[in-house]
Amino acid sequence: MAKICMEKSNGHELSPPNGGWGWMVAFGSFLMLALLPMVSLSFSIVFSRFLTERGASSTVVAWIFNMHIFTWNLVGPLTGPLTSEFGFRKVSLLGTAVSSLSFLLIAAVDSIGGLMVLFTLSGMFGGVGCKPCYVLIPQYFDRKRGQAVAILMAGISLGQIAGPPFVRFLLEQYALKGACLIVGAIVFNSCVGAAVFQPVEWHLKPRDDENHPSLLSTDEYEEGSYIGRKEIMFDSPAKCLVPGEVERRALSRGSRHLSECSSVSLAASFIDLTSISPVSRSDNDTVPPGKEYPDGPEVSGTKRALLTVSRLARSLITDLKIFKSFRALIIAIAGVLVTNGYLNFHMMTPFVIQNAGYSLEDAAWCMSIGAVTNLVARLGTSALSDCAWFNMRVVYMIGAGIIAISTLVFSFLSDLTWMKVTIGVWGYGIGTNISLYTLIMPKYMGVENMAAIFGGQSLFMALGHIILGPLIGLVRDVSGSYAVAIQVMAFEVFLCVVLWVFMPLAVAYDKRNVEELASSEEEVAPK
């Protein structure tokens, strides 16, 4: 029976808290994700009048919005290295504070160029603040991860629900400058959420041996307990590693050292291996405390900074090697397609509704309807994902299909009532799809690879938004039709479904490769 050995302290094996302070971390993530993304998702409501009055084309609007999303995701590959180097709390506090300040300063600008610069900065540091949430939550939970992710996802939906009507009210009462000042001040409260991000090592507790997920055998997994999907079963430590994983693990900090480990199945993606040292690490791989810098504590500040940057760069490069895996490529590319499609639809919809002769208030309420159904889907899907019978891949594909179909249908509508109904269906598809995205990554790649796949996916996301997003605006300007641009978005999301059809083949291909590698290593090993 293959069992997983976790970190030991005073002879007792330790496990994530699965509650306790973990719920405070979940609440902090909820608060941050309710406030910071609200700025992004209310972009068209806040600035549509400002941009229209200055004659901004759809291409310019798309550039402003997608530069914000580009920088938000561009910092993703640095999430793992930065949090390993400085800790989750410091990184998130810095990001949330600077992002809030950037939005406050928008109140002082009166040009499209100034808006682009400050809104881009807001996106960059918003990403620095928010992205650690997705990596930290799995470290605090192994049994109740679906519930914790549901809380996290509910924060995003709450910001979407309350944001558009609230921002529209502020615009009516205080105009753009007053609205920016008030929203920026409210967003600054996200620092409270970042303040509770304590290291998980402070809260590890003795493991309850009975019925603990880490004691389930490989056979028990295959019989259907928890994940139990044979398509991701790897039965040896070598087989659970993806390209670059050994090097990435060697770059982790010494504070995460694990004294002893045994075999681990990649299927046990709910075991917290990012908060402790992964299975392949030896004592020689880690940097002892106080020895991070070769010249001792008296090393100069400049050299210390250069060494830190060097470690971050090495860690980043090693993380990106995960994309030698076809599983990782499908996850990342499909994620880019669906996210780019629905975010640009979200950005363009208020302009479409106003162009059809309706008011900004109507547009705001349409967005809120989509956010309500989004929340319902996120909560339900995240909670059900903990069930053994739940087929995560199929439901993820269904969510993407709903987004694609509802987006396509919307392009043919002109009646406000049917627009609201369609956006409600669209929001439900988004909630179903996106709530599973952060669960799909550890399921198929393993929690030990979560930081690597999340960071690499963010880089793909950034490049996708800066390439595809402005093209959608250009399609609108060239065709002179919002409908054509929306149909392009629908096709983009549909490609996500097509890619995920091939995931079982990618899993089989990756498994065959690692089996061949393990076999060749056994042949050349000394007798």
pLDDT of 105-159, one tens digit each? 999 998 999 999 999 999 999 989 888 887 788 788 877 777 787 787 778 778 8
Q: What pTM did the predictor assign?
A: 0.71
pLDDT of amino acid 280 = 35
- 471-505 pLDDT, tens digit per residue, is 999 999 999 999 999 999 999 999 999 999 999 99
Contact 214, 6 (CB under 8 A): yes
H helices of 356-481, in order, are 360-384, 392-410, 416-445, 450-479
Q: What type of residue is 362?
A: D
The continuous run of DSSP H or E covering 206 comes out as strand 205-206
Q: What is the pLDDT of residues 405-438, one digit of tens each?
A: 999 999 999 999 999 999 999 999 998 998 888 7
Taking residues 241-258, report their average pLDDT: 40
- Three-class SS of 140-174: HCCCCHHHHHHHHHHHHHHHHHHHHHHHHHHHHHH
Give Cβ neighbours of residue 41 (< 8 Å, ≥ 6 apart).
159, 160, 163, 164, 346, 367
Torsion sign over Cα 371, 372, 376, 382: positive
The DSSP string of 12-72 is EEEE--SSTHHHHHHHHHHHHHHHHHHHHHTHHHHHHHHHHHTT--HHHHHHHHHHHHHHH
DSSP string for residues in 381-393: HHHHTTSTT--HH
- The predicted pLDDT at position 22 comes to 84
Q: Please, what is the Cα angle at 337 between 336 and 340, to 5 degrees? A: 75
**Structural domains of the chain ordered from first start:** 16-200+323-511 (1.20.1250.20)
How far apart CA 483 and CA 307 sit, in angstroms, is 52
Residue environment code for 160-189, b if the CB has 16+ CB neighbours within 10 A, otherwise e? bbebbbbbbebbeeeebeebbbbbbebbbe
Q: List b or e across 432-445, with b for residues whose CB sees 16 or more CB atoms inside 10 angstroms.
A: bbbbbbbbbbbbbb
When pLDDT is cut at 50, 70 and 90, the band that residue 456 belongs to is: confident
**Residue 274 contacts residue 438 (beta carbons within 8 Å):** no
CA distance 387 to 151: 17
pLDDT tens for residues 332-365?
999 999 999 999 999 999 999 999 999 988 999 9
What's the one-letter identity of residue 118?
A: L
On the question of pLDDT at 231 being above 60, the answer is: no
**Residue type for position 258:** L
Q: How far apart, in whole angstroms, are the C-alpha atoms of residue 138 and residue 442? A: 9
- For residues 83 and 232, the model is more confident at 83
Over the Cα atoms of the chain, what is R_g? 23
Say how far apart CA 191 and CA 182 lie, in whole Å.
16
d(CA 432, CA 373) in angstroms, rounded, equals 10
Whole-angstrom distance, CA of residue 186 vs CA of residue 180: 10
